[in-house]
A and B are shown apart, each in its own frame.
Chain A
């Protein structure tokens, strides 16, 4: 089936099987390998992207569902020369080690900052409960999100 979607501001028309997942379109068809797959039960959050401005786990969205929608991936929020404040905060606070969970974590964190008022440590921890990180113990991730919330 044919699906039209806008990814990071660019329109793409793809022909996919009905059971194709959004994450497979992003990684396999569009070469946007910044979005990762870390599990098969929608638990780890490494595949988190924004769909029409809200964070979703792209392993749980069918490509067929996003016809006409706008998707933003980690590649679409900033570049090394012009980092998104959340990207900058992750770097400044050493909120990543192996980097595998990081794109999903950043996309979730941006959604969190944009949609939850008066963030504090507890709210950040609860808000990121759907994103697993095995390296950082979350300590510096929480710090980064609170820092970015100040500047966003």
Chain B
């Protein structure tokens, strides 16, 4: 086996450009003759736009034009759509609020764009925006999720601000389980609103070629083809074949760059309007105000147990804040990505969940790393830990008693999913060992001697990755398929260009996908180039989100590679005067079984493009495409154990140990996978201890900068102890599951279970800030 093949920690090839300053992010792109855009944004959470007087801006030197929502409407630019139609429990469609890219009559959150100023320089655009005089008539806002249904109505077509009331599971069976329960554990808590904060702010550079009527939009997207599809089919900016979307190096996404936003839409429109390339880059304040936020649930959850501590029923009532408008996938996150995960790793036979999705005068809320699954894990794992404490049972033992056993797979849960495989006991056992759980009591006693309080917390999470299959998802309301495309193009000299519809914005696909293809073809890793992020070069793709890239995008490449090998065998058979069934392919060589003849991969590739000794039934060339539509989700799972020490004098929580043992199925590049886990854990600890997107009662975002929103910094975090167990996925060719979100899913519950253990309290809201912890410690 080569040292660059599947399973090897190959150093990333993309690193050389990033560590030398040669990365090329959207803001690094400049077009000849370009102009600059600045957005007019609402200072109010809810207001009617009475008038916009741009005459002052027109007098600022360098200002080319001020455009508003009315200008876009006049050009028949359509609304920003939501891509998932969720139905309420009564069968009615969710209520979709109109969402023009630039607000026309009413603004509904602070920071909502309602105009765009285009100028020769960024400074001129800013100066122009300063002097646009907009008269607003303030309206009463509805800000808090708790009061959403009783507050002022945002949208005329949405009574009580309820977008949908969705349910999943068997309500009668669940109620019966509670009626017969020996013990019920009940918790009410919020899942705090988060602001994604990819380090690269969103940006767009759009140009329009009047001769060909083609747009080129360079933008910070996790899924450029989806962006093109939506801008064409729904927004009606341009026909799909006249629109090229390029997502070059993208500086992190975490979900926030999946969505099609107002800004890139308006920038592209403006490029045609002013006849020059237009560039916009968000400043961080804009990112805080206008990137889609994450989480923001209020939940009451109950777990019914019988006399043996076996889980009998789970009842969950959640109100999910969707913000002022439905962002691209907002409706699916607190429903199909949340309710379906509530079985966790357990055999709970009856589950019922009801989710009320509500509009408020806050920024739209959509997928953020984990997207629904961290919220589900938090519900299940906080309940289970609390039940163990109430019953005075060891929390590991209670979990073990209820785990789905390895011989019970495939396992049909009561909330729609069928888990293909797993071994929850194995990851729990490994995590207990690594965390030295056996000696926790001694460590706790030692902490107490020093006046500190020590706690330990578990989180046995499950996630569903590689959302699938398309047909089922579309039946459930998805507006797009959930497959991925791949193309393996063998060049005449035998090196290979791989095109994938997945998009890398930190995940290292240029390395891992090259490992997969070079391993399968038995050719040097250096001979495989991976191309992604450009609708002009890659046929189609659905991009990267939900930890889907290797499971879905990687599988598409395996399919395409298999086609290459099959055609190669037919060509080689002709050249070696045998038939294709008698040709073996391994380690980059085609060998005739019935003779000692061999051909290298390069020789066959060359023959395909210089077809002299060549089968008449074959087309020349050696390039194959494939679409892979998964048969099922993949189900990564694992155990995270957090140990914290709290100083009751200051309320500071010190995470003294964090163990993660994850089962991602087969791993392509362990180094990269561990890095993904580290980053996810950091975001999970951030949610539990530091981060909170807060609007005040008046609807102003009061955590709108890095001075106010508490991002995890190097000195807030420990090093992590990460390990893996492996049960290969049963239904994709690589046996892979995906690893991008596990840390963010598992960590919050582990940390909060540890914090509440240390403090001896039932619950504490996230984030467990020093003030909250200090107050709780004082009792």
Interface residues of A (CB under 8 A from B): 17, 27, 32-41, 43-44, 46, 73-75, 78-80, 83, 87, 90-92, 94, 96-103, 106, 121-122, 124-126, 128-129, 131-143
- B22 lies within 8 A of chain A by Cβ: yes
Which of B200, B674, B683, B707 meets A98, CB within 8 Å?
B200
Map CB proximity to A onto B700-715 as digits: 1 under 8 Å, 0 otherwise. 0000011100011111
- Closest CB of chain B to A21's CB: distance in Å? 11
Measured between alpha carbons, how far is A92 from B254 in the docked complex, in Å? 24
Provide the residues of chain B in CB contact with A101, threshold 8 Å.
199, 251
> Quick check: is B249 within 8 A (CB to CB) of the other chain?
yes
One of B23-31, B340-348, B474-482, B559-567 at the interface: B23-31
Residues of A within 8 A of B285 (CB): 40
In this complex, the member of A38, A87, A98 whose beta carbon has the largest number of chain B beta carbons within 10 angstroms is: A98
| Residues of the A chain whose Cβ atoms lie less than 8 Å from the Cβ of B711 | 132, 134
Closest A residue to B196 by beta carbon equals A134
The verdict on B679 contacting chain A, using a C-beta distance below 8 Å, is yes
For residue B508, CB closer than 8 A to chain A, the reply is yes
Given contacts A44-B706, A137-B678, contact A132 B713 (CB under 8 A): yes
Query: Are A139 and B21 in touch, CB under 8 angstroms?
Result: no
Q: How far is the CB of A25 from chain B (nearest CB, A)?
A: 14
Beta-carbon contact of A32 and B678 below 8 Å: no
Closest chain A residue to B283, Cβ basis: A40
**How far, in Å, is B258 (CB) from chain A's closest CB?**
15
Given the known interface contacts A34-B23, A91-B19, A129-B713, the answer about A121 and B679 at a Cβ–Cβ threshold of 8 Å is no
Greatest chain B CB density within 10 A among A96, A129, A139 is at: A139
Q: State whether the Cβ of B180 lies closer than 8 Å to any Cβ in chain A.
A: no
Can you list 21 A-B contacts (CB < 8 A)? Answer: A33-B21, A34-B20, A34-B23, A35-B21, A37-B201, A39-B284, A41-B706, A80-B16, A80-B17, A94-B671, A97-B508, A98-B252, A99-B14, A99-B251, A100-B25, A121-B719, A128-B715, A133-B199, A134-B197, A136-B675, A141-B714
Task: Return chain B residues, CB-CB under 8 Å to A39.
Answer: 283-284, 705-706
B678's contact among A17, A122, A129, A139, by CB below 8 Å, is which?
A139
Q: Are B250 and A98 in contact (CB under 8 A)?
A: yes
Please give me the residue from chain A that is nearest to B680 by CB atom.
A137
Do B15 and A96 touch (CB < 8 A)?
yes
Shortest beta-carbon distance from B513 to chain A in Å: 16
CA distance A122 to B716 in the complex (A): 10
Q: Are B199 and A100 in contact (CB under 8 A)?
A: yes
For the complex, would chain A's binding face be called helix, strand, loop or mixed by DSSP majority?
loop
Contact B675 A138 (CB under 8 A): no
Interface residues in B, total, Cβ within 8 A: 58
Question: Can you name 9 extra interface pairs (CB under 8 A) apart from A74-B20, A102-B19, A126-B715?
Answer: A34-B21, A34-B22, A75-B21, A87-B19, A91-B12, A97-B676, A131-B714, A136-B679, A137-B682
Give the docked Cα–Cα distance between A101 and B123 (Å): 25
On chain B, the residues within 8 Å of A80 by CB distance are 16-17, 20, 22
B158 at the interface (CB under 8 A from A): no
Does B411 belong to the interface (CB within 8 Å)?
Answer: no
Would you give the shortest CB distance from A122 to chain B, in whole angstroms? 8
Q: Identify A96's interface contact among B18, B24, B198, CB under 8 A.
A: B18
- Which of A44, A74, A91, A137 lies in contact with B21, CB distance below 8 A? A74
In the complex, chain B residues whose CB is within 8 Å of the CB of A78: 20
Residue B681 is within 8 A (CB to CB) of chain A in the complex: yes
- Are the C-beta atoms of B679 and A94 separated by less than 8 Å? no
Rank and list the top 5 A-B pairs by shortest CB-CB distance, nearest first.
Answer: A34-B21, A100-B251, A99-B18, A137-B682, A98-B506
B507 on the A face (CB < 8 A): yes
Task: Tell me whether B189 is interfacial, beta carbon within 8 Å.
Answer: no
Q: Which residues of B contact A135 (CB under 8 A)?
A: 199, 252, 506, 675, 679
Q: In the complex, which residues of chain A have a beta carbon less than 8 angstroms from the beta carbon of B201?
A: 37-38
Contact with A along B262-290 (1 / 0, CB 8 A): 00000000000000000001011100000
Q: Once the chains bind, are B22 and A97 in contact (CB under 8 Å)?
A: no
Q: Map CB proximity to A onto B716-752 as digits: 1 under 8 Å, 0 otherwise.
A: 0101100000000000000000000001000000000
Q: How far is the CB of A59 from chain B (nearest CB, A)?
A: 11
A9, B234: Cα distance in complex, Å: 52
Residues B719 and A102 in contact, CB atoms below 8 Å apart = no
The answer on a CB contact under 8 Å between B16 and A91 is yes
**A125 in contact with B671 given A75-B21, A134-B254, A140-B678 (CB within 8 Å):** no
Task: Determine whether B11 belongs to the interface, using a CB cutoff of 8 Å to chain A.
Answer: yes
The answer to whether B21 touches A97 (Cβ under 8 A) is no
Given contacts A33-B28, A37-B27, A87-B20, contact A94 B672 (CB under 8 A): yes
A83 to B21, CA, bound (A): 12
Q: Kindly list chain A residues whose C-beta atoms are within 8 Å of the C-beta of B506.
A: 97-99, 135
Query: Which of B322-357 touch A at CB < 8 Å?
Result: none
Give the residues in chain B near A106, CB-CB below 8 Å. Answer: 19
B319 contacts A by Cβ under 8 Å? no
B residues 18-65 touching A (CB-CB < 8 Å): 18-25, 27-28
- Contact string, B198-212, partner A, CB cutoff 8 A, digits 1/0? 111100000000000
A115 to B706 CA separation, bound complex (whole angstroms): 27
- B21 close to A103 (CB less than 8 A): yes
8 Å CB interface, B474-509 against A: 505-508
Q: Known contacts A38-B201, A97-B252: does B682 contact A138 (CB below 8 Å)?
A: yes
Do residues A98 and B682 form an inter-chain contact, with CB atoms below 8 A?
no
* Complex CA distance for A26 and B495, rounded to whole angstroms: 38
A139 / chain B contacts, CB cutoff of 8 Å: 675, 678, 682, 717, 719-720
Instruction: Report the Cα distance A17→B122, complex, angstroms.
Output: 13
B679/A137 in contact, CB under 8 A: yes
Which residues from chain A contact B508 at a C-beta distance below 8 Å? 97
> Chain A residues near B197 (CB, 8 Å)?
134
For residue A57, give the distance in angstroms from its CB to the closest CB of chain B: 12
Q: Is the CB of B284 within 8 A of A41?
A: yes
CA distance A124 to B505 in the complex (A): 26
**A99→B283 contact, CB < 8 A:** no
Alpha-carbon distance between A40 and B201 when the two chains are bound, in angstroms: 11
Taking CB atoms, residues of chain A closer than 8 Å to B21 are 32-35, 73-75, 103
| Complex CA–CA separation, A86 to B19 (angstroms) | 9
Q: A34-B23, A44-B199 are in contact. Are A138 and B707 (CB under 8 A)?
A: no
